[in-house]
Structure 1
Amino acid sequence: MHDIYELPGFRLDSGAVLDPARLAYRTYGELNATRTNAVLFPTWFAGDHTSNEWLIGPGKALDPREHFVIVPNLFGNGLSSSPSNTPAPHDAAGFPAITIRDNVRAQHRLVTEHLGVERLKLVLGCSMGALQTYQWAVSHPDMVERALPFCGAPRTSPHNAVFIESLRAALTLDAAFEGGRYRTPPLAGIRAFARVYAGWGFSQPFYWEEEYRRLGFASREEFVRGFWEANFIGQDANNLLAMLGTWQDADVSATPGLDGDIERALGSITARVVALPAERDLYFPPEDEVRAARHIPHGEVRVIPGIWGHMAGSGANPEDAAFIDAAVRDLLSAPVPAAGPAAGRRAETPARL
């Protein structure tokens, strides 16, 4: 169950126009009388709002009895505007490139114009949700009081981009793909895509120690088929490619007015930031977050310990879930930094399209 917010004539960074763009979202809890309890929790690659529900609920860090949790779905995920649900000429392979900034701009309009929220108590997200979290903190420092990106980074690294290229190649080399105008799903390409992902989503020790048995799989092959292939086989190939493009181009320093200066971009963040990289993450390693935090005025890094790698942020491992839940609670109870000017820039003015 979800709602749709339509944005007529929504112009993208690429110059293309979606008319309308459709932003799928779900809310949990109610906005309080003072409008001070809103939390924004964007989704990650190939997930939807239900993928975030492990952190939302009575007794959890994001308790809807206390917080108004807004979960917008990423463009390209099949619920928000995507190649699979957009009419011609932007259907299938004709779907335009979407940036993280496009997502954040649409979410900003949802939050402010539709839901009537002027301040966000917290923005948080995992992986591509973390990319959106950083972009929110840079684009709208006037709105974001706290930010908790986990298993992510403020921009996609060159090494991460190589991983994304391997996923793209695995998918598009299937003859059935037909340049994105496939008549039947390119299942061989999707299975190859899933197997590439399987080598990156978890760490080397995860496989050495056969940790997949905790998930109910008796062998590595059964795990790859039953976890990874099963996760992607029902996804639309063009949707996956659209989200890959968004991921690969993510970079907060590309925000208008920052001229590609990553240190300046991070220095402009006024929110209290607690970044949670996973100890064994192969494409968003802790070192990247430690470097980033040096330039964030109120930045802190807490490493999620363990061997689950990037998937530590999925909530599937109870120990990792408890670590993240505790960090969210700590940050929500922490004081908001004193108001002050951002380092060299103003909040982005949202386009009125």
Structure 2
Amino acid sequence: MRSGSAGGRCRRHPSQAVVVAANMATSSNATSWPQPEEGDCIIKEFHFDSGETMPELRIHYRTLGTIKKAKDGHASNAVLIMHGTTGSSAGFFQDIFAGQLCKPGQLLSSEEYFLVLPDGIGHGGSSKPSDGLRASFPRYGYNDMVHAQHALLTQHLGVDHLRLVMGTSMGGMQTWMWGTTYPDFMDALMPLASLPTQIAGRNRMMRKMAIDSIRQDPEFRDGNYEVNPRGLKAALHVLAWMSSAPLRWQADCPDQESADAFIDAWMDKGMREKDANDFAYAFDASRDYDPRPGLKGVKAALTAVNFADDQVNPPELGIFEEETKKVPRGLAIMMPIDEQTIGHGTHSVAANWKHHLAELLERSA
């Protein structure tokens, strides 16, 4: 049994400090969005697709609101929101996301919805290599992450149906997977900044460059380093390029001094806060991603949103619109470049795309 017994432990505790994305401005008003509750769920005897097993897999999560049940007894207001690679659910608690969506009267108000925001395997407060196993940690993939999220919902939080599944970047890819893996489980799907196809071409090459920069560094020591190997810096260079936005970065850093200061600060933060094993595992996890065979079987209404200045999923590939056509109730939205877009990271700036979320909720009601 993949997810173990239903008797796993579930601990909830007050919200901790919010982690803010490195290239986003922080807000001085920490009460401008609802404050989440946090918890840890322990899934017993979790079996990975690699054949490895963990006696206890910890999935950390945040929630807002209270679950409601319909007359048939099924959950009616649950929403699953998933984060991107090397991030965590804490990153959603900013003015640009929770402050735009979760306050009273907003689209995903915590007064109306029960929002579940898990940390994926290998990320945030969930079980990850840096907890102690280092390079002996099971080689997890996106399939494992999605099945663990399903166990969290069904076995620990009592959620047997989702009103909406949405996610950013890696979370967007996992949104596609939710639609193909559990087609009857949700009413609506909103993947942001992702493509419904195997990681290949330049995207895969960038990921391999980052992984190899870490694992082929002599300082890596088979994952048993005492301090982060210098290869992590090269991997962070790759991540910076992937998440860059040429127009925005030029506007924000119009001279050499400001450009150097920006990237130096970005790199310094990454080297202090990231772990090389965690980083390499997270980038490698996408190797099993390919929702294409199941796209025709997606039953929920789907609105996929991508951005024309996204360096990770560039529009000229033509994959986005073509593959989304296979989803019976699918809609592909490519948002043009303007003064509000910031490249790949626009996935977390809800003001840019929340009108498409409103339309999706309406047509999937």
| Class of the TM-score when normalised by the shorter of the 2 chains | 0.7 to 0.9
With the length of structure 1 as denominator, give the TM-score of the two structures. Answer: 0.83
Determine if the alignment matches structure 1 residue 312 to structure 2 residue 355: no
Kindly indicate whether the alpha-carbon contact (under 8 Å) linking 2:89 and 2:124 is maintained by their aligned counterparts in 1: no
TM-score of the superposed pair, with normalisation by structure 2 = 0.80
- In structure 1, C-alpha distance between the alignment counterparts of 2:361 and 2:60, rounded to whole Å: 26
- 1:224-303 maps to which residues of 2 (within 5 A)? 224-252=263-291, 262=292, 264-286=293-315, 287-303=318-334
How far 1:30 sits from its partner (Å)? 0.8
Q: Provide the rounded CA distance (Å) in 2 between the counterparts of 1:148 and 1:76.
A: 23
Match of 1:210 among 228, 251, 258: 251
Question: Are residues 1:334 and 2:363 paired?
Answer: yes
Pick the aligned partner of 1:21 from 50, 57, 61.
Answer: 57
Counterpart residue identity of residue 196, structure 1: V
Structure-2 separation of matches of 1:271 and 1:114: 24
- The number of equivalent residue pairs is 312
Structure 2 gaps of 5+ residues are 1-14, 16-37
After TM superposition, the structure 1 stretch with the greater mean CA deviation from structure 2, 102-111 or 149-158, is: 149-158
- Same amino acid, percent of matched pairs: 28
Q: How far 1:45 sits from its partner (Å)?
A: 0.9
How far apart are the structure 1 equivalents of 2:252 and 2:306? 20
- Which secondary structure state, in structure 1, belongs to the residue aligned with residue 131 of structure 2? coil
Report deviation, 1:218. 5.9
Shift in CA distance, 64/195, structure 1 to aligned 2, threshold 3 Å: same
Aligned partner letter, 1:39 = V
Contact 2:188 2:364 in 1 (8 A): no
Offset from partner CA, 1:61-80 (integer Å, 9 cap, x none): 32111111001111111411
Say which of 202, 205, 225 aligns to 1:162.
205
Name whichever structure is richer in strand by fraction: 2
> Are the structure 2 counterparts of residues 212 and 143 from structure 1 closer, same or farther at C-alpha, using a change threshold of 3 Å?
farther
User: Could you tell me how far apart the structure 2 residues matched to 1:69 and 1:212 are?
Assistant: 37
Aligned match of 1:71? 117
Deviations 1:128-151 (A, max 9, x none): 001110111111011121000000
Given the alignment of the two structures, is residue 177 of structure 1 paired with residue 220 of structure 2, yes or no? Answer: yes
Instruction: Quote the residue 1:341 is aligned against.
Output: none
Give the gaps of 5 or more residues in structure 1: 253-261, 316-320, 337-353
- Structure 1 residues 232 and 305, CA, compared in 2 at 3 Å: closer, same or farther? farther
Give the SS at the match of 1:8: strand
Distance 1:206 1:232 in 2: 24
Aligned residue runs from structure 1 range 40-79, under 5 A: 40-54=80-94, 55-56=97-98, 57-58=102-103, 59-79=105-125
State how far apart, in whole Å, the 1-side matches of 2:260 and 2:169 are. Answer: 25
Is the contact between residue 78 and residue 84 of structure 1 (CA under 8 Å) also seen in structure 2?
no
Instruction: Check the 8 A contact 1:274/1:302 in 2, yes or no.
Output: yes
- Separation in 2, partners of 1:8, 1:137: 25
